[in-house]
Amino acid sequence: MAVTRRRFLGLGAGGVAAAAGLTGCGSRSSLGGRDELSMWCWTGSVNDSLIATAEKGIAGTDKKLAMTRIGGDYKTKVLTSLAGKSLVPDIIGINDDVATYFPNADQFHDLRDLGADKVEADYLPWKWKLGITPENKMMAFPMDTGPTALFYRRDVFEKAGVPTEPADVAAAAPDWDSYIQLGKKVKAAVPGSAITDNITSIFSYALAQMPKRYMTAEGQYIGDGDHIRKAWDLAVRVVKEGLSANAQSGSTDANAVVTNGRLVAFIGAVWWAQLGPKNAAPKTKGLWRVTPSPGGPGNRGGSFLGITKYCKDPEAAFAFITWLESAKNQAQSFLDPVLFPSTPASYTDSRLTGPDPFFGGQRIVDVFADSAKKYPGAYFSPYDTIIGTPLSAELVNVEIGSKSSDQAWKDAQRQINRELTRAGAI
Amino acid sequence: MAVSETVRGPAANVSANSPDGPPNRFRQAIPQYAAVSPFFILFAIFGAFPVLFSIWLSFHSWDGIGTMKWVGIEQYSYLLTDPSFWKSITNTLIIWVISTVPMLALALVIANALHNATRFRTFYRIAYFIPNITSVVAVTMVFGSIFSNNFGLLNAFLQSIGLDKIEWLSQPWGIKIAIASIVAWRWTGYNAIIFLAGLQAISSDIYEAARVDGASPRQMFWRITVPLLRPVILFTAVTSTIGGLQIFTESQVLFGSSGAIGGPGDGGLTIVSYLYDSAFGKNQFGYGAAIGWALFILIVLFSVINWRLIGGNDDERLTSRAARRVQRRIAAERAATGKADADAGKEHADAH
């Protein structure tokens, strides 16, 4: 009855062989049936009725769309599927960390080979560029964008005796300096007022206005440069002036400061309107306004679509993508789930230009469209996440008072250096 | 039952009695192997293979898609000089101690109360067990609003009795206390039920004898209950250690969406959350695998320490080394005090 050692090892080897067979090395195929194009996206990244149309049949092709909305750790699931080299979806949604896929651009079709140049003129030039690798391969196609602007509570500004109408606020606070002065006036009149939820928001949005970020396109690290330090010092200054609500992102406090009216102004991306006041503080309907942000136009967020090299019919996939991201359909995606178009032609579409009752009937699209068109664009490197994480983490240390600004800056740079050296970036 | 019948069944007897020679024992056992094989096959695919692969992976640099690059022990040497890794170990150990010690003590008290309870026993048992089967995500979200810095229930309470509010979810100690209390909330009832099972296994004769000898309840608790519960305490201590070293969900739910997975100042960065962040946040799968193996070594280490502390002195579990130590002591006593006294000493040692 006893299992001999040799027999046991034999059984074990059989199991490992079975495991290797199951992972399916060699059978490079894409997910879904032969007449289907499979697509993965995260929840809330596409308009449902457009997808429903494509699921009946993609115009100009003999294929139908099979869409899967992935919850939870979307990127992990995509990477797992790509690592398996089998059953990879034909089309995948990619978030604003698109550059982290660049080292593996060989896993995707070059969209220029499929005729992307023909539609380039329809899209915001800086957005178009973000999907192109330093080797000049077009890996990702533009979906929505995240132009930034200044959100503020008109009623609180009125109480504080500062300008209240969007044009006047923009004129009174054209840069961060004057904006901080304005914030101090509001705080003096309405105690407890804050112009940011926490220190990292100021840093991120100041960075989102800059024409360069952490690396140059040539691969040189510039995250210790003056422009980053300027955004850093600005964030520290807002905290020192007492204008931050100290509600760290991800905490329940972050919503609470919107709900209870502490956050009276916020430089945010267009999607914040939904995530912030509309969801967290529906009772403030009609009290908010939007105006061009101090410090200039910026962009934070926005997503892309890529066609994997496992795709069974790249032409059909490309036809679907260009249809889904046409100016007409991007305008529809703005209605639900509030994705801001990357196609300037959408900005005059009547579905976007209607007055928004939440913002007192203001035509908020004009403000964001202006920001999107004037945004200078910046190079995102594959290492931006590695660099950005220690910077934000150390900024939080400054805000909670556990480190001085200079010490935190030094620690962040040391950590970044270690990580970049290991990643082989410097 | 069915399996053993197959062995003793007529077919087996026939082959055993056949004149062709002794039966092939393995061939006889094939049905049994076939019956247990699904577990081993599944284990090989989903258990053993990933484990072996993660060793292989920890000697590589891999971003999840491209080719794996052999880097030797580089991941491990980076690990040893990585301040975040050491911070995650310190954090985990602190959270483990401030959650496990009060938790096990409280569980023992609750188990004792349950053991002596006369009414609604089942109700109490269920009530104490419910936190354990509640979704840890939901529990953490509730605790998140209790400990919330500005508008948390706990701070509202502190302020209502005239104290200053504490920034629970910003300060390193506050974060650890918050996480430890979530852990304790979840596992106290579970451990209490385990203790209760151990208590009910202790014969009431021993207690009656002690009572006849005039032992107080406190003496009975410390001299009878605790020593006899030692194997159960060892079990809960070891499982709590393994669980405590793998704390992850709590800090992930409290801080996961904010980018920095450990929360402000990395106060809640645990080993597993650092592993998760390295592998799935930064896509450094080789490094994640190395952290996983470091965690494995730590768990083995702490389980051994637990075993030594709680289980190692038990007479029935004397290791050979401890047995030799006793023998040496007896020999020494015998040499020192002469034969007559030594016999008494031997009896003394036996009685221990």
Whether pLDDT at B98 is above 80: yes
Facing residue for B258 by CB, picked from A16, A249, A418: A249
Task: Give CA separation, A197 vs A126, A275, B262, in Å.
Answer: 29, 13, 19
Q: Of A284, A319, A346, which closes a domain?
A: A346
A416 and A290 fall within a common domain = yes
Q: Is residue A362 part of a domain?
A: yes
Helix H, strand E, coil C: the string for chain A is: CCCCHHHHHHHHHHHHHHHHHHCCCCCCCECCCCCEEEEEEECCCCCHHHHHHHHHCCCCCCCEEEEEEECCCHHHHHHHHHHHCCCECCEEEECCCHHHHHHHHHHECCHHHHCHHHHHHHCCHHHHHHCECCCCCECCEEEEEEEEEEEEEHHHHHHHCCCCCHHHHHHHCCCHHHHHHHHHHHHHHCCCCECECCHHHHHHHHHCCCCCCCECCCCCECCCCHHHHHHHHHHHHHHHCCCECCCCCCCHHHHHHHHCCCECEEEEECCHHHHHHHHHCHHHCCCEEEECCCCCCCEEEEEEEEEECCCCCHHHHHHHHHHHCCHHHHHHHHHCCCCECCCHHHHHCHHHHCCEHHHCCECHHHHHHHHHHHCCCCCCCCCHHHHHHHHHHHHHHHHCCCCCHHHHHHHHHHHHHHHHHHHCCC
| Alpha carbon distance B87, B172 (integer Å) | 11
A45 and A107 fall within a common domain = yes
Residue A1 touches partner B, C-beta closer than 8 Å: yes
In this structure, the strands spanning A288-291 and A265-269 are unpaired
What distance in Å separates residue A157's CA from the closest CA in chain B? 23
Q: Are B259 and A392 a contacting pair at CB < 8 A?
A: yes
A161 and A124 fall within a common domain = no
| Alpha carbon distance B279, B287 (integer Å) | 7
Residue B337 backbone dihedrals phi, psi, to 5 degrees: -110, 0
Closest CA to A211 of A350, A36, A365, A378: A378
A108 and A167 fall within a common domain = no
Whether pLDDT at B155 is above 50: yes
- Contact residues on chain B for A1, CB-CB shorter than 8 A: 25, 29, 32
Facing residue for B282 by CB, picked from A83, A386, A415: A386
A256 and A379 fall within a common domain = yes
For B261-281, write each residue's pLDDT tens digit.
788 888 899 999 999 988 887
Residue of A nearest to B169 (CA): A251
Facing residue for A400 by CB, picked from B41, B64, B171: B171
The pLDDT score that the predictor gives to residue B313 is 54
**Choosing among B36, B61, B63, B179, which should be mutated to test the A contact, i.e. which has the most A CBs within 10 A?**
B63
Size of interface A-B (CB pairs under 8 A): 129
Q: Are A73 and B144 a contacting pair at CB < 8 A?
A: no
The CATH code of the domain that includes A60 is 3.40.190.10
How many domains does chain A divide into? 2
Looking up tokens 């704390």 gives B247
Sorted by where each begins, the domain ranges of chain B are 75-314
Q: Is residue A48 part of a domain?
A: yes
* DSSP string across B312-334: TT-GGG--HHHHHHHHHHHHHHH
Q: Chain-wide mean pLDDT for chain B? A: 83
User: What percentage of chain B reaches a pLDDT higher than 90?
Assistant: 38
- Contact residues on chain B for A392, CB-CB shorter than 8 A: 259-260
Contacts of A381 (CB under 8 A, 6+ apart): A99, A213, A214, A215, A219, A387, A425
Q: Are A183 and A241 in contact (CB under 8 A)?
A: yes
| Alpha carbon distance A258, B335 (integer Å) | 82
A375 and A337 fall within a common domain = no
E strand intervals along chain B:
60-61, 69-70
Predicted ipTM? 0.76
A77 and A124 fall within a common domain = yes
Q: What average pLDDT does this structure show over B205-214? A: 91
Under DSSP, the state recorded for B282 is S
A385 and A332 fall within a common domain = no
A338 and A251 fall within a common domain = no
Q: What CATH code would you report for B75-314? A: 1.10.3720.10
Closest CA to B141 of B274, B268, B250, B246: B250
Whether pLDDT at B172 is above 90: no
The pLDDT score that the predictor gives to residue A133 is 94
- Contact residues on chain B for A18, CB-CB shorter than 8 A: 41, 44-45
Q: Is residue A20 part of a domain?
A: no
Whether pLDDT at B14 is above 70: no
State which residues form the domain around A416. Answer: 147-297+357-423
- Contact residues on chain B for A200, CB-CB shorter than 8 A: 259
Q: Is residue A336 part of a domain?
A: yes
A277 and A412 fall within a common domain = yes
- Contact residues on chain A for B256, CB-CB shorter than 8 A: 250
| Alpha carbon distance B101, A325 (integer Å) | 58
A248 and A380 fall within a common domain = yes
The pLDDT score that the predictor gives to residue B150 is 80
For B225-265, write each residue's pLDDT tens digit.
888 898 898 889 889 988 999 899 888 888 866 566 788 88
- Contact residues on chain B for A393, CB-CB shorter than 8 A: 259-260, 262, 265-266
The pLDDT score that the predictor gives to residue B259 is 60
The pLDDT score that the predictor gives to residue A293 is 96
**Choosing among B45, B61, B78, B168, which should be mutated to test the A contact, i.e. which has the most A CBs within 10 A?**
B45
A120 and A98 fall within a common domain = yes
| Alpha carbon distance B264, A402 (integer Å) | 10
Q: What is the pTM of this model?
A: 0.81
The number of C-alpha atoms within 13 Å of A375 and in the hemisphere containing its C-beta is: 35
Closest CA to B322 of B286, B352, B343: B352
Q: How confident is the prediction along chain A (426 residues), in pLDDT tens digits per residue?
A: 444 555 555 555 544 444 444 444 445 678 888 899 999 999 889 999 999 999 999 988 999 999 999 987 888 889 888 888 888 999 999 999 999 999 899 999 999 999 999 999 999 999 999 999 999 999 999 999 999 999 999 999 999 999 999 999 999 999 999 999 999 999 999 999 999 999 999 999 999 999 999 999 899 999 999 999 999 999 999 999 999 998 887 777 888 899 989 999 999 999 999 988 999 899 999 999 999 999 999 999 999 999 999 999 999 999 999 999 999 999 999 988 889 999 999 999 999 999 999 999 999 999 999 999 999 999 999 999 889 989 998 999 999 888 999 999 999 999 999 989 988 888
Q: What is the CA radius of gyration of chain B?
A: 27
Residue A276 backbone dihedrals phi, psi, to 5 degrees: -85, -105
Q: What average pLDDT does this structure show over B186-208? A: 91
Confidence grade of residue B345 (pLDDT, cut at 50, 70, 90): very low
Q: Are A393 and B260 a contacting pair at CB < 8 A?
A: yes
Bigger pLDDT: B149 vs A356: A356
